[in-house]
Amino acid sequence: MLHRAIATKEQPVGWQDYVVPQDWESFTADDHAVWDLLFARQVDLLGTRVVTPFLDGIDLLRLSHPGVPDIEELNAILKPRTGWQTVAVAGLVPDEIFFGMLSERIFPVGNFIRTREELDYLEEPDCFHDMFGHIPMLANHDFAEMTKHIGELGSAAIAAGQGHKAARLYWHSVEFGLAREHGELKILGAGLASSFGEAHFSLESDAVERLPFSVGKAIDTPYKHDAFQPRYLVSETLEGTVDEVLGLSAERLLAL
Ligand SMILES: [Fe+2]
């Protein structure tokens, strides 16, 4: 998520200025083959080690359909379900743009995919991370509402000069959260669900901390965006985390 800006106009005024055509026809046969390879490898790796709504979302959105998904086809299923839609962007967008998009149920998706030579090394999120990692959970009503609310909180926090609080909340839930499901530890966050190396590491490594998720703990916990996380926050239940985040006002976030 977040950070480096790639603007298409000199003075962008809103998130719309960062939207580019997906230009699905420009993906090559090899791009589509890379998607298929990544998809098959990741589904096999995850098995049932990811929360059930994620697996439901993969099925619902027909993400197993061969090749890079067409944004319009994806939106035709996603929008009627939770009101969310995806748009294509050329790369990472600034935090205020990103949170602004989330607050309007818009999720930015890179208009490119990694090369076969760099299957596991990513300078910035590509469409496999964005679509495979994020979009399935946005088909889940509760998670979709929570993500929109984090967008609203993020916009307010940035306006108050405290954007890091919302970034940490986002990071430890939507991006790198773990969650218990029927007592079993599962992957929740998109950064884990879409990662070949960190998916199992987050669940199995003895070298990391796993602490119970709370809004306060998330805001107090820094994160790394260029390495595996040293600490994961675990939602006792997905529903509990959704309720806690939805109950958080911007005023309370800023006071924490
Ligand atoms: Fe992400």
Using the mean position of ligand 1's atoms as its centre, give its distance from the Cα of residue 127 in Å.
10
CA distance 138 to 155: 19
**Is 26 one of the annotated active-site residues of the chain?**
no
Using the mean position of ligand 1's atoms as its centre, give its distance from the Cα of residue 130 in Å.
6
**Is 205 one of the annotated active-site residues of the chain?**
no
CA distance 47 to 185: 13
- C-beta contacts of 188-193 below 8 A and 24+ residues apart: 188/50, 188/51, 188/54, 188/137, 188/235, 188/238, 189/133, 190/129, 190/130, 190/133, 190/134, 190/137, 191/129, 191/133, 193/42, 193/46, 193/50, 193/54, 193/132, 193/133, 193/136
Using the mean position of ligand 1's atoms as its centre, give its distance from the Cα of residue 94 in Å.
13
**Is 134 one of the annotated active-site residues of the chain?**
yes
Task: Kindly tell me if the per-residue pLDDT of 1 is higher than 50.
Answer: no
Q: Per-residue confidence at 98, pLDDT binned at 50, 70, 90?
A: very high
Predicted local distance difference test score (pLDDT) of residue 11: 63
| Among 8-22, 92-106, 159-173, 229-243, the least confident range | 8-22
Using the mean position of ligand 1's atoms as its centre, give its distance from the Cα of residue 135 in Å.
10
Using the mean position of ligand 1's atoms as its centre, give its distance from the Cα of residue 8 in Å.
21
CA distance 89 to 124: 12
- The per-residue pLDDT for range 152-164, each reduced to its tens digit, is 999 999 999 999 9
**Is 123 one of the annotated active-site residues of the chain?**
no
Q: Which one of the listed residues 103, 134, 155, 195 is annotated catalytic? A: 134
